[in-house]
Amino acid sequence: MKFSNGCWLQKEGCSCFAPAEAYFTKIEEKKVTICAPTTHIVTRGDTLGGVNLTLEITSPAPEILRVRTYHYKGEVVNTPSFELELNEALPLDVKDSEEEISIASGELTLVITKKSWSMTYYRNGEMITRSAGRDLALMKTDFKGLAYNYTDSEETYMRQMLSLSVGELVYGMGERFTPFVKNGQSVDIWNADGGTSTEQSYKNIPFYLTNKGYGVLVNHSEKVSFEVATEMVTRTEFSVEGGYLDYFLINGPTMKEVLTRYTDLTGKPSLPAPWTFGLWLSTSFTTNYDEATVMSFIDGMLDRGIPLRTFHFDCFWMKEFHWSDFVWDSRVFPDPAGLLKRIKDKGLNICVWINSYIGQESDIFDEGMEKGYFIKRTNGRVWQWDMWQPGMALVDFTNPDAYKWYQDKLEVLLDMGVDCFKTDFGERIPTEDVVYFDGSDPKKMHNYYTYLYNKCVYELLERKRGKGQAVLFARSATVGGQKFPVHWGGDCWSDYESMEESLRGGLSLLMSGFGFWAHDIGGFENTSTADVYKRWVAFGLLSSHSRLHGSSSYRVPWVYDDEAVDVVRFFTRLKASLMPYLYKTAIETSISGVPTMRSMVLEFTEDKTCHYVDKQYMLGDNLLVAPVFNDQSLAEYYLPKGTWTDFFTGEEKEGCGWFTEKCDYLSIPLMVKENSIVAMGAHDDKPDYDYGDDAELRLYALKDGKSAEAVVYGMDKTEEIAMTAKRDGNQIQIAVKSDKVYRIRLVNVIAISVSQGEVKIDKKDTVISLSGNADLTVTF
């Protein structure tokens, strides 16, 4: 939200109350409290009125400082609030003098000058950002004087501006389809069902990080308005309604470390089960389907050698107007339990669509209404409207009985054979004339509703299927939603522009604490050309999760052309063979919070070209993926400094430059970073198998004096193979810990001698077959 009229003036009717000085400071072991009047106190008479702000500064974890600023503390509403991992605050390192107060947590220090107010954050003595003058302020947009009896929510906002230095760029704020770098954008954190082609977003996260290696979480579940180098071009501004502001500043110094600390605070991405990484196929949305259609799709995929792993039933598994009552439409699915069994007998898992909106024609509407399980209006009646489902109500997840009731309805489906749920919607949550069971503030609940919705379903899945087996396909999210994966990008069109914006939105989400992401392969609205479909397939199957889904048309490949079948088969099998590498990456994501799919700036922050690159990404530590976004079959991509190896051809390229090349449909720029070991599995017919059994560990472009390492985990997360390699001149020392049979492939290396193992030369590569622990020397 913008308050200024240029550099010096405020907008008409707007009054600004900013700290003038730090008048009192109260220093405790774990908290510093500052009384900051908004006018200078010269005489005792100056203390008899006026606006004071109170600041409380604490540290919930090393390298994180929390700043809470109050006008009227008694009006602060804390429900609902994000579920943060807030242990007891840490002791602070405080230095107090007449001129300033310094508050440190680890290498992060906040220095507040007392007489002429300013707040400056330092990392090891180097300034990273600051706030001064009127940057931190209580803003009154219709100020009527001190004697006017108003509440702190009337035309009142609290804002902070933090400086941006030369070349500093801002990222994150959830899934945003606007430009990847947020500088120059006004961003409202407000969940909306707007598709992927507007500034609206399904997943709004009031967190940003910069290429300077720090991040900011604004700890408000209601609307947070960001002005990123807009109102003031050297500031990132954030503001909230009311007279209270709570934010955390998180030190890196690397962007990855910021994400690790952010997810320490908000929750780590939960690890999805191995089967979820395989190919999902949907009925699509408004298409006609019954049991015969479903089985023809499944058999058609399997008969064509495409290892389908999960089948998804979209909305019309239930009767129209009945969403959601969780009852199968008997007109098209007369024997749902039998159908599910027949699908599972083919080795597939099953997902069904749900949402938390209960239409008036639903079989469970009356029950929910009579028991008080729906959100109500202020007059005590059920809140209903006709958008999406006629007469629909919304489940009130703040009511513990409604929470359990919703789980009980879903549990019937799990007992029938369903494995997981697509938790759709959760964005259009009302804020006017609304009452929640627990008295939650409706404005704070608008974004937060999706957290309770997805948590409710995820907890049920963990209880019924076991920890590590729960998975959602969720569309909406807020802070902490990463604990309930997987999230997909929402409703996109079926063209290259939408494919590009989907990736942009995904990378933005993955810069906001989320670890796993999917999108509708082929696009959702309309029907793509065969060309777009085939390019999207390559992109989709080199994403963490992969689903074929559409709106009014099917997404099975044979409806496009025969070549599309080949493309889906090829990339589905490629992903299955990459599972030892992908699963290792996923485990690391669940531990560190660093996402599986990484923007180039996150992985190569020192390379300034990477700061703006948003049409390619790193898949884990070692693989670079550059989708093709045009019908000329031209791939355009950037390689940072170093030697990169084409995964398919073995051709090596020296980076620090742009490349353009023609790609057929069974190709995509998939480049391997130097000094990498990529573990490949022995199976390509499913994503879940023993990854360590007969695995192949491929060593790429190991430079003199450098080392590389890799781990292969079993599906139970136990370490099955650990390999290290170090190069000294024309020798590579390799050590492996394993009780498995495996192979080591030295890509583009012809060995002269190998100290142990069965050796063969495969084209330009040396392949060594081994069993169990090994220490070997390769001379080349």
Active site residues: 424, 427, 491
Residue 485 and residue 272 in contact, taking contact as beta carbons nearer than 8 Å: yes
Instruction: Tell me which residue has tokens 């309930």.
Output: 484
Give exposure, 529-543, as e/b (b: 16+ Cβ within 10 Å).
ebbbbbbbbbbbbbb
Close Cβ partners of 466 (under 8 Å, ≥ 6 residues apart): none
User: The tokens of 580 are what?
Assistant: 């030892």
User: The tokens of 610 are what?
Assistant: 């990477």
User: The tokens of 8 are what?
Assistant: 């010096």
| 3-class DSSP assignment, residue 255 | helix
Instruction: Tell me which residue has tokens 């499913």.
Output: 686
Residue 486 and residue 276 in contact, taking contact as beta carbons nearer than 8 Å: yes
Outline where DSSP puts E strands in 628-747.
634-639, 643-646, 652-654, 657-662, 670-673, 676-680, 695-700, 707-713, 719-728, 731-738, 741-746
Residue 304 and residue 561 in contact, taking contact as beta carbons nearer than 8 Å: no
The C-alpha atoms of residue 70 and residue 138 are separated, in whole angstroms, by 9
Close Cβ partners of 219 (under 8 Å, ≥ 6 residues apart): 66, 81, 82, 84, 206, 246, 247, 248
Dihedral, CA atoms, 267, 460, 543, 697, nearest 10 degrees?
Answer: 80
Instruction: Tell me which residue has tokens 């949907």.
Output: 282
**How many residues are listed for the chain in this entry?**
780
The C-alpha atoms of residue 113 and residue 255 are separated, in whole angstroms, by 28
Residue 280 and residue 108 in contact, taking contact as beta carbons nearer than 8 Å: no
The C-alpha atoms of residue 492 and residue 502 are separated, in whole angstroms, by 7
Position 186: which residue type?
S
Of 570, 712, 686, residue with least CA distance to 277: 686
Residue 537 and residue 509 in contact, taking contact as beta carbons nearer than 8 Å: no
Q: How buried is residue 281: exposed, middle or buried, by Cβ count under 10 Å (0-12/13-18/19+)?
A: buried
The C-alpha atoms of residue 357 and residue 362 are separated, in whole angstroms, by 10
Of 335, 342, 293, residue with least CA distance to 313: 293
- Label each residue of 319-370 as H, E or C: CCCCCCCCCECCCCCCCHHHHHHHHHCCCCEEEEEECCEECCCCCCHHHHHH
Which helix (H) or strand (E) covers residue 459, if one does?
A: helix 442-465
